[in-house]
Structure formats: structure tokens, C-alpha cells
A and B are shown apart, each in its own frame.
Chain A
Amino acid sequence: MSTIILDFEKPIVELERKISELREHAATTGVNLEPEIKKLEEKLQKLIVKTYSNLTRWQRVQLARHPDRPYTLDYVKRICSQFMEVHGDRHFADDKAIVAGLATIDDQKVILIGHQKGRKTKENLERNFGMPHPEGYRKALRVMKLAEKFKRPVVAFIDTPGAFPGIGAEERGQAEAIAKNLFEMAKLRTPIIVIIIGEGASGGALGIGVGDRLLLLENTWYSVISPEGCASILYHDATKAPLAAEAMKVTARDLEELHIADEIIPEPPGGAHRDPDQMAAVVKERLLFHLHELQQIPIDVLIEQRIAKYAAMGSWEE
């Protein structure tokens, strides 16, 4: 059960508490409260459907950032029968904001990469809150080249508030590292599936996010800049982020309408954090489906389709 409760989740949590209290009461006293409990449970289901089908874009951003939301390694634990993490970019360091490894998902051997946030303060500092430095992108590229060499597909989990804006990151070529990954991923001779599991902020996300399929969990956001960043530039006020989220149309559904997303993966009622096991099962099923599908396509055709897909993106008037 979640430890942190968002504002719009409160009525639901309140009702859940009431139901469990009644259950407890019934169990200890032997009084039959079933009809009442049933009524409340129906009410709860309705409330959940009502709440989560009417979320604003900003509320979805909050869900995407929920501190209890499953991160890359939470999925790895649940969907991979084997996972061997590998480290380092062979140039400078091992960036813990991006994890990479040799993964087995059912009958599929894949190279898995993903942003990794930390759960507690100490781990968050280690993981730099999921904000990679150039060496993270270079580690990812190194293992993707390995995938290409040995014909293993790549699965990339995206969940980052952005590439880290700092002195070291600039000195070591944050822009070059990301650009190089876009360039190499566009023509990497193996299938690539990209899945947004939380936040997809800008070049920091795209830097491991070019591929044949883009899947987004239902309560995620993905855009050119964070809502806060946009708000601080356009309104000179970061607290106007909810407005910026609306204006930039940042949610999974928006990306489907803009022909950027290939598939939206529904989340359990209330969001991925309320049932990580179920969420992981669905993610696994969808990954396997797309992996099998992409493996049917000859590699030259696949790359042609990949480049054509990106070439068609955008909207303009001739």
C-alpha cells in the first residue's frame, strides 16, 4: 500500500480505510456488515473510475512522479527470469542514473537499459534522481552496440526528469553524448522497443529513446521540457507548471493523438504504484508481443521503417 497520497487520491484512500475498518469490526464482533461493506465497495469502484478517468494533465504528471511508482529495476525484478547488470562507459565512469544489463524475459534474451531513480534519499543521491551524465548515455550506447553485434533486441525503460544540468555534464559533452545516441539508435541493426514508465523529459529521455516502437504507460508524461521548465520560461513562474502541462499536451493520450505513441498500456486502477505486480505482468506481455512482432521483420526493412517513422513526425503547412 502506498505511503504517499496525492490530493486527488485522498477520498479513495479514505473510503478504503473505512471499508477495512468495517471488515475488522465485523470480524471481531461477529456482526454482519456485509450489505454495508458491499455498498461501500461499489461506491469505491465508482469513485476510482470517476477519479482516474477525469484526471487533469497535471494530475497525470503527479502520478508519473509518484514516489511509490515502480522504477526500471522494479520491473526487471518482476519480468526477467535472469538479469546481469553491466557497468561503465569504458571512458570515464559508471553512471548509476542509467542501468544496463543482459536480460532474459521468457524465451527472449534482450539487452535492457533504463533510467533508474532512487527510492530513499541515499539511493536517490547515488542515482542522481534518475538524471544521467554523459557517461550514462555512453554506457547505454556501448551495450546497444553489443546488442547489435550479437543480434539481441534492445528494450529501453524511460523514466527521467531530464539529463543532468551541471558543470561536469557539460564538460564531458552531454549534448554530444545524446546526439550520438540518436544518430546510432536510428540505424542500430537490431529491434528497439522503448517504453515510458514514468517521466520522459526532453533530450534526457530521448537519449535512450529512439526505436521501432514507443509504448507509454497510461499515467506518464513525455515532452520537450518539463512543465516546470516551460512555466519558468514562459510565465517566469515554475508554480504555473499545471498550466504548462495543459498547454504542451504532455500525457500518453496526447502523444497517441499526435501520432508519436505506438501504444498506450493501461495501468491498474489508481495507477501502477497501487499494483506493481499486475502492472509488470501487463508490461511483460506487451513487450513480448512487440518483440515477437519486430523479429518477423527483416532488419533492413526494420531500419527503413524506423527512419521513415521519425521522418513523418511533426506537423506543418506546405
Chain B
Amino acid sequence: MVDWFQRTKKGLLSSEKKVIPDGLWIKCPSCNEYLYKRELDKNLGICTHCRYHFRISCDTYINILLNVFEEFNAHLKSNDPLKFKASKKYADQLKQTMAKTGANEAVKTVKGKLGDHSVVLAVMDFNFIGGSMGSVVGEKIARAIDLAHEQHLPLIIISQSGGARMMEGILSLMQMAKTSAKLAQFHDDGGLYISVLTDPTTGGTTASYAMLGDLILAEPGALIGFAGPRVIKQTIGHELPEGFQRAEFLLEKGFIDVIVERSELKTTLIKILDFFKNE
């Protein structure tokens, strides 16, 4: 390194001077503007400057969409079937994650009212081990499909997931088959299923229920794909094209029906439900 490239006067470094209390202000990763957290929350996690969609929790989605709701199967927990241990014990990771999130697993399943429509809604949670699908997520999704099936209700699944959960090995993989099989039955009996893809939806989740909606919606900018971008980059050995695997890319390639801003999600879903409702 040549000397004259280095800054000597510390005072010129602007980024270090902007000390912002944690949690009060948040920097938008897309436009770099600072956003007041309370304002951002009120705006459903959408940047007021560039419309970048921050990840939001599953509870927030439920609150945005449903007037009244009741959660079911919240008690289901992983029993660590493989007694999995890598750099840390899966059992410990589960315990810590449960304590952190206050939830038992990476999906919440509820029945409630979306406008005038009774619906079954499943929302995944990226905060819970990357929204990964193990036995419990698969089982809760399967039971949500069954409930919608039995009660002739529309089904909505909001995906936010890195894929199948490694720590439950083959059992996680089989959840893809389980949920797809349940959806096949639901489909054949005329059930309506709307899949909503949020950032990120990858791996086994995409390669099963996320891609099986009668209609598939996605949030702007959401990463959606089978393989993760890092793996693809490693495999092919060069940079990926701009916008690759983003919602807009999938729309262009013909794999999703429509991109919907989060602020429009509720009205869009109601429109679809209205359209398909048999009077």
C-alpha cells in the first residue's frame, strides 16, 4: 500500500462520527438513508425513500392481514430426532432460538378473517433458524392445508425461508414431499391456495409449497430461487447478473403472477379471494 492513499486525519472519516443509538434509527441497505424506526414500523417495514422492503416478523404479517385470528398447533416442537451436533448442538440452538423469538418453530399457522373472508394462513419466520423447514414446519404446514381442506377455506402461505433444515437431515427433505402431497389433495378438491414469497425464499421451501400456489405473489426485491446465489457463484466461477433471482427477475422469466408491495398485500389478497368466492 502506497502511503499517500492512506488517510491520516481521522476527523475526515464521516461514517464513524454518525453514532446512532441502536434500534432508534435504521440505515436502509438499498438507498443508505437513515430511517426512524417507529416511522419504518408504521410504514410496514418499507423504506419511505426507495420502497425497499425490510424483512418483518411473522407476527407483523398476521397483524397486517387479519382482523381476528386464532393460532393453532403452536405447541408443536422439534424433538431433535438425529441428536444433531455440528459446531453446536441443535438442541441448544433450538432452546436459544425459542427464548429469543418466543416461538416454538419457524412457522405460525392461524385461522382468521381477512376482510370478510375466513382463511387459513401460515407465515414463516426467518428469525427462527433462517426460517428453515424441519419436521415441525412441514407438519404445521400440512395440518394447515388439512384444515383449509376440511373447512373449505382458502389457504395462504407466506414464505420466508432459507430452505430445508439440515439439522433434521432426511426428515426435513421429506417435508417437501409431505406438504406437496397435501397440496395435491387440496388442489384436486378445488381448494384455493395463494403463495406469497418474501425475502428470502430459497431451497426446499421454493422447491415445494412456495412454487405450488394457484397464484404466486412476491414482494418487490425478494430473493427467490432454488440454489443460493453464493453456491451458484462458486459453481460457475463468475459474478451473477444484476438482479438475478430477485422477484422482478422471476416475474420476467414467468414464474410468479404479480409483484405486490407489502402495503398493497391485504387489498390484493382480498381482491383475489373475492374473485374466486362462490356466491
Give the contacting residue for B139; candidates A180, A247, A254, A316; CB below 8 A.
Answer: A316
Task: Enumerate chain B residues within 8 angstroms of A306, measured Cβ to Cβ.
Answer: 181
A180 touching B212, Cβ below 8 Å = yes
Q: Check A182/B208 contact, CB under 8 A, given A165-B226, A176-B255, A247-B82.
A: yes
Q: Which of A69-77, A78-86, A202-210, A294-302 contacts B (4 or more CB under 8 A)?
A: A202-210
Interface residues of B in 185-216 (CB under 8 A from A): 185, 187-188, 203-204, 206-212
CB distance from B226 to the nearest CB of A (A): 4
The answer to whether B82 touches A317, judged by C-beta atoms less than 8 angstroms apart, is no
- State which size class the interface on A falls in: 35 or more
A31 adjacent to chain B (CB < 8 Å): no
Q: Is the CB of A311 within 8 A of B142?
A: yes
Which A residues from 145 to 195 make CB contacts under 8 A with B? 163-167, 169-176, 178-180, 182-184, 186-187
B178 an interface residue at 8 Å Cβ cutoff? yes
Q: B210: which A residues are within 8 A, CB to CB?
A: 175, 179
Task: Report yes or no: B77 in contact with A243, Cβ–Cβ below 8 A.
Answer: no
Q: How far is the CA of A244 from the CA of B208 in the complex (A)?
A: 24
A318–B226 contact, CB under 8 A? no
Rounded to whole Å, the gap between the CB of B230 and the closest CB of chain A is 9
B177 & A222 in contact (Cβ 8 Å cutoff) = no
Q: A169, A183, A316: which contacts B212 (Cβ < 8 A)? A: A183
For chain B residues 124-157, which have a beta carbon within 8 Å of chain A?
A: 134-136, 138-139, 142
B182 interface residue, CB < 8 Å from A?
Answer: yes
Residues from chain A with Cβ under 8 Å of B169 in the complex: 223-224, 248-250, 254, 258
**Could you say which residues of chain B place their CB within 8 Å of the CB of A254?**
169-170
Contact B253 A171 (CB under 8 A): yes
User: CA–CA, A230 to B168, complex, Å?
Assistant: 12
Whether A166 pairs with B232 at a CB distance below 8 angstroms is: yes
For A244, list chain B residues within 8 Å (CB): 86
A210: nearest residue on chain B (CB-CB)?
B177
8 more contacts with CB within 8 A, not counting A250-B170, A313-B135, are: A165-B228, A179-B209, A183-B183, A206-B176, A234-B166, A235-B86, A254-B169, A307-B184
CA distance A203 to B176 in the complex (A): 8
Interface residues of chain B, those whose CB is within 8 Å of chain A, are 75-79, 81-82, 84-87, 134-136, 138-139, 142, 164-166, 168-178, 180-185, 187-188, 203-204, 206-212, 224-228, 231-232, 235-236, 240-241, 244-245, 253-255
Distance, CA A184 to CA B211, complexed state (A): 13
Residues B86 and A176 in contact, CB atoms below 8 Å apart:
no
Q: Tell which of B181, B203, B235 touches A203, judged by Cβ atoms closer than 8 Å.
A: B203
Q: Chain B contacts of A313 at CB under 8 A? A: 135, 171, 174-175, 177-178
**Is A225 part of the contact surface with B, judged by Cβ < 8 Å?**
yes
Residue of B76, B86, B139, B204 touching A224 (CB-CB under 8 A) = B204
**Chain B residues closer than 8 Å to A317, beta-carbon distance:** 76-79
Q: Contact at A316–B231, with CB atoms within 8 Å?
A: no
Chain B residue contacts of A170, Cβ below 8 A: 225-227, 232, 244-245
- CB-CB under 8 A from B165, the residues of chain A are 224
Complex interface: chain A residues within 8 A of B208 (CB): 178-179, 182
Whether A175 contacts B226 in the complex (CB less than 8 A), given A183-B180, A244-B86, A318-B76, comes out as: yes
Q: Across the interface, do B87 and A179 meet the contact criterion of CB distance under 8 Å?
A: no
**Complex CA distance for A178 and B206, rounded to whole angstroms:** 9
Instruction: Verify if A233 is at the interface (C-beta below 8 Å from B).
Output: yes
A92 interface residue (CB < 8 Å to B): no
A175 touches B207 (CB 8 A): yes
Kindly list chain B residues whose C-beta atoms are within 8 Å of the C-beta of A234. Answer: 86-87, 166
Q: Which residues of B contact A288 (CB under 8 A)?
A: none
Contact between chains at A255 and B180 (CB < 8 Å): no
Residues of chain A having any CB pair with chain B under 8 Å? 163-167, 169-176, 178-180, 182-184, 186-187, 202-203, 206-207, 210, 222-225, 229-230, 233-235, 243-244, 247-250, 254-255, 258, 260, 306-307, 310-311, 313-318
B232 touches A316 (CB 8 A): no
12 pairs of residues in contact across A and B, judged by CB atoms under 8 Å? A163-B227, A166-B235, A167-B241, A167-B244, A170-B227, A182-B181, A203-B207, A249-B170, A250-B169, A307-B182, A315-B78, A315-B135
Take A206-B176, A314-B135 as given contacts and tell me if A184 and B182 are in contact as well, using a CB distance cutoff of 8 Å. no
CB distance from B20 to the nearest CB of A (A): 31
Tell me which residues across on chain B come within 8 A of A248, comparing CB atoms: 82, 84, 166, 169-170
Instruction: Say whether A179 contacts B166, CB under 8 Å.
Output: no
B174–A314 contact, CB under 8 A? yes
- B170–A179 contact, CB under 8 A? no
Q: Given the complex of chains A and B, what is the CA–CA distance between A167 and B236 in angstroms?
A: 8
B166 touching A224 by the CB < 8 A rule?
A: yes
CA distance A192 to B173 in the complex (A): 19
* Shortest beta-carbon distance from A240 to chain B in Å: 8
Q: Which residue of A lies closest to B252 (CB)?
A: A171
**Given the known A-B contacts A203-B204, A310-B178, are A316 and B173 also in contact in the complex, defined by CB atoms under 8 Å?**
no
A228 to B173, CA, bound (A): 17
Complexed CA–CA distance, A187 and B187 (Å):
11
Contact, CB under 8 Å: B255 / A173: yes
Taking CB atoms, residues of chain A closer than 8 Å to B175 are: 313-314
Bound CA span A178–B202, Å: 13
B171 touches A260 (CB 8 A): yes
Q: Is the CB of A174 within 8 A of B232?
A: no
Q: B212: which A residues are within 8 A, CB to CB?
A: 179-180, 183
Closest to B143 in A: A311
Determine whether the beta carbon of A318 is less than 8 Å from that of B75. Answer: yes
Chain A nearest CB, measured from B96 CB (Å): 16
